[in-house]
Each structure stands twice: as C-alpha cells, then as structure tokens.
Chains A and B, each alone.
Chain A
C-alpha cells in the first residue's frame, strides 16, 4: 500500500497560516496526492488534491515538491472550524475488469488544534 508520513499533531491560533507537512518518499509517477479532513462524529471531507503542480481552492493551497516526495497543505487565516484531523493520502490506481478504479488508503493523519 502507498505510504505517507505526517506529524501526529500541530497547534495554531485563529487567524494564522498553518503549514501541514506530508512525506511520501516512495510515491509513484501516476499517483495523485489527496487531502481529506475529519471532525469528530463526521466522515472525512475532501479538501484538495494534486499530481505535480501546486493547486489552490477555497479551502486550501497544496504545495507539491518538485521531486513529489513531499507536499504541504497550507491553510490561511485558520478559524476554529478548521480544527480537524487532516489526512494526506496517495491515490492507488487499481485496475479491475470494468477499467481503472481506485481506493484510498488512509493513515492516522495530523490532528490540528486551533485556539482562539
């Protein structure tokens, strides 16, 4: 299974910019990097994904290293609502009889704590 390494926890204060690191040293050339986040009593929620280029959306900015062995999820102006476990995942392509498909293999993620 594809592997990622993330710190167990990080802390921040409201209004700050947070950089959540993820290491994926054995990533394959066709594997996408996905980020999901999860708050208590809810399922994971999609944040963003990328292959090689940096990407940005309303939730976050994803910076991918040029060698793709690491990535950083950047959250600007964090609020209390951003407190969650953030999962960095590699999309593993699985080919089945009906064509390509995939499943996501989750790690433990990083618990982001945000204080007022």
Chain B
C-alpha cells in the first residue's frame, strides 16, 4: 500500500496561470478530502468527496478554485488564474466510509509556489 499519492510534490506557476493538483487515494477508500496548509492559517479544510460525489465544499474559495473526482482512483484540485496568496501546501487525504471512527490518511502534499 503506497498510501495517498499526490503529484506533483512541488509546482511553481506564474501569477495568472492555471495549476492542477492530483491526488490518488488509497485503494478502497471512498472518502477524499482536500486541505490547504500555510504558516499563518495552519491546516484549512477545503472540500470532500464521498463515493466520488461532492459532499461539502464549504472551505473552497468561491472563485478560481474547483475540485473534481471523475473516478474512484483520483481527484483533482484546479486553481485558475493563480495568485501569490494561493501559495501553500495542498494536502489530500482519504479514508473508508461506513464505520464511525475511520482514520484519515494524508498524502505528503503538493507545495504550490505562485511567483
């Protein structure tokens, strides 16, 4: 089990460019979460999917950010027209559903740097 896989590990974009971040959850996990981590704000919840359906996107910025889960083996977080304030580590996590106390497994994250 390779754990949650996130690619790329580090992405550098110019201001105004688009960035797409990829996440491969652990096989069999049907819940996928996206978080953003910065020094100032700490770890912030962005959105999560359950059985590929978007359930809660209350943490997503209303503009420029979107997330999808086209199949059970991967999810993407897309940021259009990136801005310097989008620079952060974006973390993906997954877990089983159905039981009441399932552990969340995190990937190593993608560090996004917007110049």
Contacts and interface: CB of A to CB of B under 8 A. Distances in A.
Interface stretch (B41-49, B67-75, B80-88): B41-49
Interface residues of B, number: 26
B104 A106 contact: no
Interface size bucket, A side? 20 to 34
Contacts, number: 55
Interface string A67-107: 00000000000000000000100000010101011011111
A43 B103 contact: no
Contacts of B33: 103
A53 to B, nearest CB: 13
Interface of A: 32, 36, 41-46, 49, 87, 94, 96, 98, 100-101, 103-109
Closest 3 CB pairs of A and B: A43-B106, A106-B43, A46-B103
